[in-house]
Copies of this chain bind each other. A is one copy, B any other.
Amino acid sequence: MHEIKIGLLGCGTVGTGVWKVLMDGREQIREKTGHTISVARILVRSLDKVRPKEIPSELFTTRIEDILDDPEISVVVELMGGIEPAGELVERAISAGKHIVTANKALMASYGPELFKKAHEKGVQLRFEGSVGGGIPVIAAMTESLAANRFEQVTGIINGTTNYILTKMTQDGLSFEDALRRAQEKGYAEADPTSDIEGEDAAFKLAILASIAFETRILPQAVPCEGIRRISITEIEYARRLGYVIKLLATAKRTPEGLVLHVHPALVPQTHPLASVSDEYNALFIRGDAVGELMLYGKGAGSMPTASAVVGDVLYIVQDRGMQGGGHSQSQEIPIKGEGAGEYYIRLQVADQPGVLGTIAMVFGRYEVSVASVVQQGQGQDVVPLVFVTHRVDKFILDQALTEIEAFPEVREIASILRVETL
């Protein structure tokens, strides 16, 4: 029987969740691990802010030294988010010989390898399950359970805010703006939702996942990234008619030419398990040479799910399961390539005149762009939508064909080009 003391950096929504999981699970944790685990100190920016009243006020401190210099604290849990000052404090905690658990995606995506190196030198562990996918155990799955696999693909719905917005647009016919407002009311989107909406949050997480999957270093700024702001109800409706659901997907795929990496809205077949991932849920779809297709689904954010991952990491360390678990080697250099070939959904706005479809189809034919489906509906208006889904085509060729198509006077606008994900 051993008393393990941890120091928390930050006491926001996840920090409060960690406190609650440790308190509510006290008995169970003691039974499972033979240890009691308690929060000894909590670093906060100001002592004046109102804190959850179940946490004793004497635990709060504004001095990091109260944690770093306390020899009884063996694990530091970083929940501040952002790169600084979190990064500096984590480095100092490692130097002080503390094990680290973090849920900080920005820090791990940008400085993971440096922190691992430092942790390795100091003989401490660094675990980060909560940084991607909230309570979904994707890091442990990839680094431990599936360690025998060579990974071929990781594709995920890894941003809950955008998935909630797209779900409300799809299921309730809300506009983007109304769905965003609903997400903000529910607490799924922040006052400034830019990082979620533009795909930046997903790019951080994809950088972490791809680095693990392909044993290489991928920085978040290397991930081509497109958000959901220009997805309209029109696209969602046409996608539905064609048998698809629009999702913001983060993808990393090994190809003979290199890694294909991107975050972008894409059409997913309605029958694919990723299509039924709704609301604020996340899912990770993984393909490995031995395991085949695997999907992990759950709550990708929030106080308690993320706390589940964080406390899971703490229990792992407490049970002293060695050093390799959390780390990921970055031995390989793999070129990162752009979007490449794929299937595409294209919506044109065209004049409602006879012969337009033929004109456009001729151009596609000349460029050998093969068309899988077309939806055309005259609506008695001057300008009508004309939707194509192509078979697999090189994006470069498609762009050439579309440049030519755009020049026709009957074509008023290329309103949308979206990827169809072939999973």
Q: Which A residues fall within an 8 A CB radius of B? A: 17, 21-22, 24-25, 28-29, 31-33, 129, 135-137, 140-141, 144-150, 215, 271-273, 275-278, 281, 288-299, 302, 304-305, 307-309, 311-312, 314-316, 319-322, 324-325, 329, 331
Q: A328 → chain B, closest Cβ, in Å?
A: 9
Contacts of A320 in B (CB 8 A): 322
Q: Are A321 and B325 in contact (CB under 8 A)?
A: yes
Q: Are A291 and B308 in contact (CB under 8 A)?
A: yes
What CA separation (Å) do A22 and B290 show in the bound complex? 10
Report how many copies the assembly holds: 2
In the complex where A33-B324, A137-B141, A147-B315 touch, is A298 in contact with B294 (Cβ < 8 A)? Answer: yes
What CA separation (Å) do A136 and B322 show in the bound complex? 23
Contacts of A305 in B (CB 8 A): 290-292
CB contact between A273 and one of B141, B148, B297 (< 8 Å): that residue: B297
The main secondary structure of chain A at its interface with chain B is: mixed
A-B residue pairs in contact (CB < 8 Å), sample of 11: A25-B150, A32-B329, A33-B324, A140-B140, A141-B141, A144-B144, A273-B277, A290-B307, A291-B305, A296-B297, A319-B324
Q: Are B297 and A294 in contact (CB under 8 A)?
A: yes
What CA separation (Å) do A331 and B271 show in the bound complex? 42
Give the residue name and chain of the B residue nearest to A302 (CB). B292
Beyond the given A271-B278, A281-B293, A295-B298, could you list 16 further A-B residue pairs with CB under 8 A, ordered by the A residue number? A22-B148, A33-B147, A144-B312, A144-B316, A145-B312, A148-B307, A148-B312, A148-B314, A273-B276, A276-B276, A289-B304, A290-B304, A291-B305, A294-B299, A321-B321, A321-B322
Q: Are B145 and A129 in contact (CB under 8 A)?
A: yes
Q: A243 → chain B, closest Cβ, in Å?
A: 14
Q: A77 → chain B, closest Cβ, in Å?
A: 12
Give the residue name and chain of the B residue nearest to A136 (CB). B294
Q: A149 → chain B, closest Cβ, in Å?
A: 6
Q: A401 → chain B, closest Cβ, in Å?
A: 35
